[in-house]
Amino acid sequence: MWSRRQGHLRPTVCGVEELRRRRREQEAALRKARREQQLVSKRLLREDAPEEAGEGCVAAILGEAESPHVAVLEALGYALSQLLQAKEAPEKIIPSSILASTLPQHMLQMLQPGPKLNPGVAVEFAWCLHYIICSQVSNPLLIGHGALSTLGLLLLDLAGAVQRTEDAGLELLACPVLRCLSNLLTEAAVETVGGQMQLRDERVVAALFILLQFFFQKQPSLLPEGLWLLNNLTANSPSFCTSLLSLDLIEPLLQLLPVSNVVSVMVLTVLCNVAEKGPAYCQRLWPGPLLPTLLHTLAFSDTEVVGQSLELLHLLFLYQPEAVQVFLQQSGLQALERHQEEAQLQDRVYALRQTALQG
């Protein structure tokens, strides 16, 4: 089936609200930058792609009573995906020709899991949906049409496929699906139209980890896509953080740290999402391999990795005071000393050191 293709801390002890405020500002900036980066996709425009794909014709073909030939649908999806990457698409094409038609519903139908799902067709229309979402023209409309629910079910289906086959072609569909979900979850409308409820299921977290393990072994370049989704799931949702803990997924998450600095930062950010939910969540993180791991990441030379490690340590110290004593006993202050002269880190190092000494 799948054979187809920062702000700085001031030199004082920071409170919970200050940490949360700074993290929200950082998250907003990262999401904006990521969305703009994704709008220019890895799938480059082809010079021979038609400048006008006849959007009305597309809707007519997809709306015919007689799921058209698979090759026609795949070609149609590819042509539409090229059109949606045009510079004028967010202003001229998507609002009037796409969202004002029945195309979104038909696209979501093409992504419904089941025996009629064709991987090649699904890949093309998943990319189409990705470009529409990145344009931010009317994502609440897509959420209202059940986009989160459809994509969530497709995520479960992909995880099942991973367990049945080792076909490397799976990532062709996984990539746009993960991006669509990640970007939709950043919308304020997710809560107002009940979007979170469409994904409120720990099976989504379990499925995502199955995919992360697959990427770890077969396609490490896709790990940031999966981790970005995990970040957006856990950022404002205690229930998804609870799923992460109840499924014992903290240690598998920590095992991804050596892959790259980018992956390390995202893993640490997800753990910060869990820790900031309060004492009950930090108690579940403690004891275990977390503190030894953080002492190890403090030895990294990458400023972002160290910065996120400091952030997570600060949350642990605030909510789990016994972590302070273990940190001191395991030469934590010496680990901090190597960064105290680094301009981007020295304020946070000082703040963490003061918290540890006062604890």
Judge contact between 35 and 136, C-beta under 8 A. Answer: yes
Structure tokens that stand for 312 in this block: 């997570």
- In this predicted structure, the answer to whether residue 334 has a pLDDT above a threshold of 70 is yes
Distance CA 317, CA 332 (A): 12
Answer whether residue 30 shows pLDDT above 80: no
Q: Output the CA–CA distances (angstroms, integers) from residue 9 to 19, 128, 249, 264, 338, in the order listed.
A: 9, 41, 30, 21, 18
Burial of 70 (0-12, 13-18, 19+ CB in 10 A): exposed
The 3-state secondary structure of 184-253 reads HCCCCHHHHCCHHHHHCCHHHHHHHHHHHHHHHHHCHHHHHHHHHHHHHHHCCCHHHHHHHHHCCCHHHH
Q: Give the range among 100-104, 167-171, 264-268 with minimum mean pLDDT.
A: 167-171
Lowest mean pLDDT segment, chosen from 23-32, 104-113, 262-271, 327-336: 23-32
pLDDT tens digits, residue range 221-239? 999 999 999 999 999 889 8
Does the CA dihedral 250-254-260-266 come out positive or negative? positive
Ramachandran bin of 140, using left for φ above 0, alpha for ψ from -120 to 50, beta for the remaining angles? alpha
CA distances from 329 to 70, 210, 325, 356, 357 (A): 64, 36, 6, 11, 12
Per residue in 87-122, pLDDT (tens digit) is: 999 999 999 889 989 999 999 999 999 888 999 999
State the DSSP H helix or E strand holding residue 262, giving kind and residue range, or none if neither. helix 261-275
Q: What is the pLDDT of residue 231?
A: 96
**Quick one: 169 exposed, middle or buried, by C-beta within 10 A (0-12, 13-18, 19+)?**
middle
- Tell me the percentage of the chain whose pLDDT exceeds 70: 77
* Lowest mean pLDDT across 7-11, 96-100, 111-115, 345-349: 7-11
CA nearest to 231, candidates 272, 192, 279: 272
State whether residue 133 is helix, strand or coil. helix
What percent of the chain is helix, strand and coil (3-state, nearest 5)?
70, 0, 30
- For the segment 31-47, the average pLDDT, to the nearest whole number, is 51
Q: What is the pLDDT of residue 37?
A: 59
Mean pLDDT value across residues 11-35:
61
Mean pLDDT of 61-81: 79
- Mean pLDDT of the residues in the chain: 83
Residue 12 token pair? 């004082």
183: number of Cβ within 10 Å: 22
pLDDT for the residue numbered 166: 67
User: How many angstroms separate the CA atoms of 124 and 20, rounded?
Assistant: 39
Q: pLDDT-derived band of residue 153, with 50, 70 and 90 as boundaries?
A: very high
| 15 Rama class: left (phi>0) / alpha (psi -120 to 50) / beta | beta
Q: What is the mean pLDDT of residues 298-327?
A: 93
Lowest mean pLDDT among 97-111, 137-151, 185-199: 185-199
The highest-confidence range among 61-70, 148-157, 185-194, by mean pLDDT, is 148-157
Rounded CA-CA distance 278/82 in Å is 46
How far is it, in rounded angstroms, from Cα 84 to Cα 78?
A: 10
Nearest to 11 by CA among 336, 352, 347: 347
Res. 212: pLDDT tops 80: yes
CA–CA separation, 71 vs 97, rounded Å?
Answer: 23
252 phi, psi to nearest 5 deg: -60, -30
Confidence grade of residue 196 (pLDDT, cut at 50, 70, 90): low
pLDDT at 12: 41
Lowest-pLDDT choice from 67-76, 198-207, 249-258, 298-307: 198-207
